[in-house]
Amino acid sequence: MDWLNIGSLALGELFSPFTATFILCALGLSVHFGYTGLLNFGQAAFAAVGAYGMAISVLTFGLPLGLGVLIGLLASAVFAVILGIPTLRLRADYLAIVTIAASEVFRYFMTTIGFAKVTGGSNGLSQFGEDFWAANPFAEGTYGFGPFMYRADELWIRLVAFSIIALGAVFVWLLMRSPWGRVLKGIREDEDAVRSLGKNVFAYKLQALIIGGALAALGGMVFVVNLSNVQPQSWGTTFTFMIWTVLLLGGAATILGPIVGGMVFFVLLSVTQGIMSGLVEIGALPFLTLPQVGQIRFLLIGLALMLLVIFRPQGIFGNKKELQFNG
Amino acid sequence: MNHLTLGKKRAFSLWLGALSIVFGMLFSATPSLAASPSPSPSTSTEQLLIKGTIKNEGEPVAGVSVQITGNGVDAKATSGADGKWVLEVATKGVYKVEILLDSLPEGVGLRDPETTVREANLTATNTAAVLFPLGKDLRVVQPIGDQIIVRVFSGLNLGLLLAVAAIGISLIFGTTGLNNFAHGDMLTFGALFTYLFYVVFEWPLLIAATATIALSALFGWSQDAALWRPLRKRRLGLNQMMIVSIGFSIVIRYILLLVFGGETKVISGEFEAVVIGPINTTVNSLGSMGISVITLAAVALFLTRTRIGKATRAVSDNTSLAASTGIDVERIIRIVWVVAGALTGLAGILYGLQFQANWMTGFQILLLLFAAVTLGGLGTALGATVGALIIGMVVEVSSLIIPTDLKYAASLIILILVLLVRPQGVLGKKQRIG
């Protein structure tokens, strides 16, 4: 087994744009779930709305990418309002069902042939990120050391993605230590108590939904700019539940949780996949084939989600007292 | 981990043991699957194939073309003398396969005339089979009145099927408060085991169905015994349990994928066609509707007339009051899980016999089930039935007006709209929304 290769592949996941996507989405989900207690099972849709909003404004309306990003963020805010108004007054499990339903509805609308002129249908859209790659300040060549060797464009997207994460993390940290953030935590702990203090709980929840959704939208944009295409099938429920696993692994009501959780999650996933593929290649797991190893990785995500919630709901960093999952 | 008592650890190892039993059971089924003549996963190479067989009443049809698009591919494949077509693609992803109706022989049409485009999902597997069951050409334009009758009939059919599966969700929610996200995968479990027993082992349908229902009931029992009861004893919160059920559903789904492969299975075989006025249907659809109605009636009688049924409703209404009147709540919950497992397995059988099934089937239906249960009012069995019928109707009738590929979206939008106006559902009690 090629341990060196497995190790360097795994370390490569640390700063991959894919990891960055899930960190951003999980950071948004920590605002929703960790700090406000909203069970949002449609986080993939927020990312998708952002990504599609950006891609469509560039391709259909010919706007510059920077404006597209703003429109994507705006679209995710509108989505949050549309979703929030009927559901934020409901009990937590209703919110869960409605958010997952809404995210699937959005995916159906992006897939349908009827809107294919704008959305690209199931083929999706591509060639909207040219402005981004053109703005790359790094000259051609490779940068870095050891397992962290990147080409100029690879370095560029990583730099941008992790700068967004840093800014986002500081933003959330500042928000949560403000009076506004304390009200959110109050809502998580006891909604009625906060309401009796004269706070408009609904408005606070809606604001939290918008802010968390905007972070996910940024994550979605990183995801599609890196892939150079946006396709409806990427944003299924698996995407959402991977975000949940990342968040619960790191710790829901923490700032570092989503970041470290995302890194640990994808490194572990890469290591297990590498080891299992190696074992299959040397014939140690005769009942498995190589493609099945890829399937087992999703099985492990499911198992990790179960075990985390059962045995360590606070994740790596969280404080158990902060996470009673009120509903 | 210091808060863990020994008992909890034991409960968990029990659960792991049960999981390994499920694993063992499923993996022991693998060789028999591979030995079968039906499409076995050709996963030894890294070739990515989209393939299918065009058959009409058991006979292969040659010269039928399909157009495959997606991920930069736009290619045509034509069926050979054995009715088989195949296309190799370079990248993983989801492809659209459209059957070119003009290439079909005279008088032959799709059994499901609306579905000319199907998806080939190559994200997790290396081969994807896409099947277009053929039958009599139904492409004659029907008058709108007839079309409505046909749609209402299909809606009734789908609604009854959903109702059988939704009652399980509703009973579990009522007695334990859990929104079980693994419920759809219990339906897949039923459909795929029917495939194993009926198509691969070639058992008679009745025996295959009985075995599947028994296995599904056992699956329900073992889920409660090994997972949910220990979690209830740990006093895990309901929302946490909901997330656990999501994790569990992912685990079941991928185990089923590993064992059965990613191909879509045709379980229906060849059933006799029946024509009633404008409605073209088959014996199995009518049979399925009959079985659904009988099952629903039986469940209603069980809940209203038997002691256990009444106790179940008492537990749903108020668990602690029920316990104080001497009802063994844990026993009732165990019975509910067994009944829910059996009912959902039955729904899986009925679904599999009428439509195609693969490892994703249940999860795609799950949202419709949740919509049905929420629409009817969470936790009321009658409400679930009413909600399921409404959802079935909306899905089928809406496709008269909106594109077919949005019909599921329509039912989910209805769900969101109903929650706006009447959050407790059509038949739910107001205090349930809390």
Alpha-carbon distance values, A223 to A86, A114, A157, A228, B66 (Å): 29, 25, 10, 9, 32
Nearest by CB to residue A97, choosing from B70, B179, B420, is B179
Rounded to the nearest 5 degrees, what angle is found at the Cα of A229, between the Cα atoms of B93 and A168?
115
pLDDT at B46 > cutoff 50: yes
Q: Which one of A296, A307, A310 makes the best mutation probe of the B interface by having the most chain B beta carbons within 10 Å?
A: A310
Tokens of A179: 């009076």
In angstroms, the CA A87 to CA A94 distance is 7
The pLDDT assigned to A246 comes to 94
Would residue A293 count as lying in a domain? yes
Alpha-carbon distance values, A221 to A60, A73, B343 (Å): 17, 10, 43
The pLDDT assigned to A322 comes to 66
Put simply, whether B242 touches A (Cβ < 8 Å) is: yes
Q: Do A292 and B258 touch (CB under 8 A)?
A: yes
User: Measured between CA atoms, how close is A289 to chain B, in angstroms?
Assistant: 7
Q: Which one of B95, B116, B243 makes the best mutation probe of the A interface by having the most chain A beta carbons within 10 Å?
A: B243
Nearest by CB to residue A105, choosing from B69, B405, B413, is B413
Average pLDDT, stretch A36-55?
95
Tokens of B261: 């492969």
Put simply, whether A322 touches B (Cβ < 8 Å) is: no
Average pLDDT, stretch B152-165?
93
In angstroms, the CA A319 to CA B145 distance is 62
Q: Which residues of B touch A93 (CB under 8 A)?
A: 179, 238-239, 242
Nearest by CB to residue B27, choosing from A111, A287, A303, is A287
Put simply, whether B73 touches A (Cβ < 8 Å) is: no
The pLDDT assigned to A324 comes to 54
The pLDDT assigned to A132 comes to 93
The pLDDT assigned to B24 comes to 46
Q: Which domain holds residue A149?
A: 3-322
User: Measured between CA atoms, how close is B350 to chain A, in angstroms?
Assistant: 25
User: Measured between CA atoms, how close is A139 to chain B, in angstroms?
Assistant: 30
Q: What integer best gives the mean pLDDT of chain A?
A: 90
Tokens of A79: 């989505």
pLDDT at B72 > cutoff 80: no
The pLDDT assigned to A202 comes to 93
pLDDT at B253 > cutoff 80: yes
Put simply, whether A283 touches B (Cβ < 8 Å) is: no
Q: Are A246 and A22 in contact (CB under 8 A)?
A: yes
- Report B:12-71 residues touching A (Cβ under 8 A): 12, 27, 30, 43-44, 46, 69-71
pLDDT at B425 > cutoff 80: no
User: For A111-115, A261-265, B257-261, which range has the lowest pLDDT when averaged over its residues?
Assistant: A111-115
User: Rounded to the nearest 10 degrees, what angle do helices A65-87 and A201-227 cross at?
Assistant: 140
**B225 or B79, greater pLDDT:** B225
**A279 or B133, greater pLDDT:** A279
Average pLDDT, stretch B83-88?
83
What are the residues facing B265 on neighbouring strands? Answer: B357
Among the listed residues A305, A273, A7, A316, the one whose alpha carbon sits nearest the alpha carbon of residue A146 = A7
pLDDT at A68 > cutoff 90: yes
The pLDDT assigned to B379 comes to 67
| DSSP assignments along A99-144, one per residue | HHHHHHHHHHHHH-GGGHHHH-GGG-EE---HHHHHT--SPSSEEE
User: Measured between CA atoms, how close is B200 to chain A, in angstroms?
Assistant: 20
Would residue A50 count as lying in a domain? yes
Would residue A327 count as lying in a domain? no
Nearest chain A alpha carbon to B257:
A295
**B65 or A234, greater pLDDT:** A234
Average pLDDT, stretch B279-306?
90
- Report A:97-116 residues touching B (Cβ under 8 A): 97-98, 100-102, 104-105, 108-109, 111-114
In angstroms, the CA B177 to CA A15 distance is 41
Q: Which one of A93, A112, A115, A308 makes the best mutation probe of the B interface by having the most chain B beta carbons within 10 Å?
A: A93
pLDDT at A266 > cutoff 70: yes
Q: Which one of B179, B416, B417, B429 makes the best mutation probe of the A interface by having the most chain A beta carbons within 10 Å?
A: B416
Average pLDDT, stretch B99-124?
76
Rounded to the nearest 5 degrees, what angle is found at the Cα of B302, between the Cα atoms of B301 and B308?
145
Average pLDDT, stretch A81-86?
88
Q: Are B381 and B226 in contact (CB under 8 A)?
A: no
What are the residues facing B52 on neighbouring strands? Answer: B85
pLDDT-based confidence at A176, cuts 50/70/90? very high
Q: The complex's ipTM? A: 0.90
DSSP-derived pairing of the beta strands B127-129 and B48-53: parallel
- Report B:197-226 residues touching A (Cβ under 8 A): none
Per-residue pLDDT of A184-224, as tens digits, reads 999 998 889 999 999 999 999 999 999 999 999 999 999 99
Put simply, whether A202 touches B (Cβ < 8 Å) is: no
Q: Do A324 and B237 touch (CB under 8 A)?
A: yes
pLDDT-based confidence at B38, cuts 50/70/90? very low
Q: Do A299 and B250 touch (CB under 8 A)?
A: yes
**B255 or B120, greater pLDDT:** B255
Alpha-carbon distance values, B50 to A288, B95, B222, B371 (Å): 22, 9, 37, 33
What are the residues facing A126 on neighbouring strands? Answer: A229
The enclosing H or E element of B121 equals strand B117-121
| Number of compact structural domains in chain A | 1
Average pLDDT, stretch B47-65?
79
Nearest by CB to residue A101, choosing from B242, B250, B416, is B416
> What domains are there in chain B, each with its CATH number?
48-136 (2.60.40.10), 145-433 (1.10.3470)
pLDDT at B383 > cutoff 90: no
- Report A:74-93 residues touching B (Cβ under 8 A): 86-87, 89-93
pLDDT at B392 > cutoff 50: yes
Q: Are B249 and A302 in contact (CB under 8 A)?
A: yes
User: Measured between CA atoms, how close is B205 to chain A, in angstroms?
Assistant: 30
**B213 or A131, greater pLDDT:** B213
Would residue A292 count as lying in a domain? yes
Q: Do A102 and B416 touch (CB under 8 A)?
A: yes
Among the listed residues A308, A44, A238, A325, the one whose alpha carbon sits nearest the alpha carbon of residue B244 = A308
Q: Do A302 and B413 touch (CB under 8 A)?
A: no
pLDDT at B410 > cutoff 50: yes
Per-residue pLDDT of A121-175, as tens digits, reads 888 898 898 889 999 999 888 888 888 889 999 999 999 999 999 999 999 999 9
Is the whole model's pTM more than 0.80, yes or no?
A: yes
Name the residue with tokens 């579990």: B172
Nearest by CB to residue A109, choosing from B1, B253, B409, is B409
Nearest chain B alpha carbon to A293:
B258
What are the residues facing B73 on neighbouring strands? Answer: B70
**How many inter-chain contacts (A to B, CB under 8 Å) are there?**
163
Alpha-carbon distance values, B277 to A109, B146, B242, B282, B285 (Å): 35, 9, 46, 13, 16
User: Measured between CA atoms, how close is A301 to chain B, in angstroms?
Assistant: 8
Among the listed residues B123, B116, B48, B129, the one whose alpha carbon sits nearest the alpha carbon of residue B88 = B48
The enclosing H or E element of B134 equals strand B134-136
pLDDT at B159 > cutoff 90: yes
pLDDT at A271 > cutoff 50: yes
Average pLDDT, stretch B281-300?
91
| Domain harbouring A110, CATH code | 1.10.3470
Put simply, whether A127 touches B (Cβ < 8 Å) is: no
The enclosing H or E element of B276 equals strand B273-276
Alpha-carbon distance values, B110 to B79, B185, B350 (Å): 15, 28, 21
pLDDT at B133 > cutoff 50: yes
Put simply, whether B276 touches A (Cβ < 8 Å) is: no
Q: What integer best gives the mean pLDDT of chain B?
A: 81
User: For A153-162, A201-210, A282-291, B29-38, which range has the lowest pLDDT when averaged over its residues?
Assistant: B29-38
- Report B:157-176 residues touching A (Cβ under 8 A): none
In angstroms, the CA B398 to CA B417 distance is 15
pLDDT-based confidence at A304, cuts 50/70/90? very high
Where do runs of H (alpha helix) occur along B261-380?
Answer: 283-305, 307-317, 319-324, 329-354, 361-376
Per-residue pLDDT of B162-191, as tens digits, reads 999 999 999 999 899 898 999 999 999 999
Among the listed residues B219, B215, B172, B257, the one whose alpha carbon sits nearest the alpha carbon of residue B18 = B219
Nearest chain B alpha carbon to A242:
B247
Q: Are A285 and A224 in contact (CB under 8 A)?
A: no
Put simply, whether A309 touches B (Cβ < 8 Å) is: yes
Q: Do A305 and B243 touch (CB under 8 A)?
A: yes
Would residue A14 count as lying in a domain? yes
Tokens of A242: 């991977």
pLDDT at A320 > cutoff 80: no
In angstroms, the CA B27 to CA A285 distance is 13
Highest mean pLDDT among A3-12, A15-24, A287-296, B409-418: A15-24
**A167 or B40, greater pLDDT:** A167
pLDDT-based confidence at B236, cuts 50/70/90? confident
